[in-house]
Amino acid sequence: MNKLTLAKIAAALTLVAGLAACAPEVGSEAWCKKMEDKPKGDWTANEASDYAKHCVFR
């Protein structure tokens, strides 16, 4: 790999890590609110399960 390719990969990984750090923790009040605002049809099976476990059946 050349240096430009490695720089692009490093930049992409930095961006992904930065975006992941901004997401609220699953089960937190902020996460529950975010899920309430998200259309139910866009939820994944894991999100629906986590929502039920952490936001409905506290």
The whole-number pLDDT of residue 10 equals 81
The whole-number pLDDT of residue 9 equals 87
| Cβ atoms of residues 24 and 30 within 8 Å | yes
Q: Summarize pLDDT for 1-58 with one digit per residue, the tens.
A: 787 788 888 888 887 766 666 889 999 999 999 999 999 999 999 999 999 999 998 7
The whole-number pLDDT of residue 22 equals 83
On whether the pTM is more than 0.75, the answer is no
The whole-number pLDDT of residue 19 equals 63
d(CA 58, CA 11): 39
The whole-number pLDDT of residue 34 equals 97
